[in-house]
Amino acid sequence: MDASLFPGFRQLAIETAPGISINAIVGGAGAPLLLLHGHPQTHAIWHKVAGTLAERFTVVACDLRGYGDSSKPAGDPGHLAYSKRSMATDALRVMQSLGYPRFRALAHDRGARVAHRLMADYPDAVERAVLLDIAPTLAMYAQTSETFARLYWHWFFLIQPAPLPERLIEADPGAYVRDVMGSRNGSLAAFDPRALAEYARCLASPGAAHGLCEDYRAAASIDLEHDRDDRAHGRKLATPLLVLWGANGVVARCFDPLAEWRKVADDVSGHTLPCGHYIAEEAPDALLAAALPFLSGL
């Protein structure tokens, strides 16, 4: 699948901790750029923009732990294995193993939450970052409304104790992918059938439903503790941020992303794009037009 969606890229498996291997693809030349995907997807979300990015950057696109072809460790009572702190350390070690102690980042959805923690815990690692279609996790939970709960129902379904949500997802992983992505977007027309098939294949792999749920359980528990600790101690991100969100998405409807990111970061700019949640697949040209100058430092 990578050969079809990402011609010229090479695939790697990088050990980031004992028993944890992170799947990644690498291509292009230039300054290093880390790409992190969201739910319920894999690095395949970047297939419409990776080639153009690789003309200017060395692109490293990872599968988060619990997703894609990366390791799917068992969860633990405190959900530490799937904390954004653990996932951020994975991302840092991937880049360090490739010889990139400092890099830029482009991240969507769950991956953008990982990028947030990466910048908070390792402030010298990320030069600048583009975050797609999220507000900070703490802000989104704190401001949950009936509208948000109805539209982002999966946030509250996936955090239910195991094995209930895992069992229901595992009954038909392909249907979960199609229903979640199609309901957010109104249809599946924006998505390449090869990418949809890849998302379904990966979610059907052993441990994937559990990893996905543990990601969300961590977000509703240990991740909030880490975020509250940052707030309590007045710690803010120093990394320059470009925040982009879909004009037709739930984030735009329920939150003020710029205002929320400016509460946790010192240097924030951003605006909407003409799409819904899945920016890299729905509006790749608009994403590139906004992100390339920023990532290039122009």
Which residues are part of the catalytic machinery?
109, 277
Rounded Cα distance, 105 and 111, in Å: 10
Give Rg (Cα) of the chain.
17
Rounded Cα distance, 157 and 141, in Å: 14
Cβ-based burial of 266 (10 A; exposed 0-12, middle 13-18, buried ≥19)? exposed
Q: Look up residue 292 and give its two tokens.
A: 């390339």
Rounded Cα distance, 123 and 249, in Å: 30
Rounded Cα distance, 58 and 227, in Å: 31
Q: Look up residue 253 and give its two tokens.
A: 């409807």
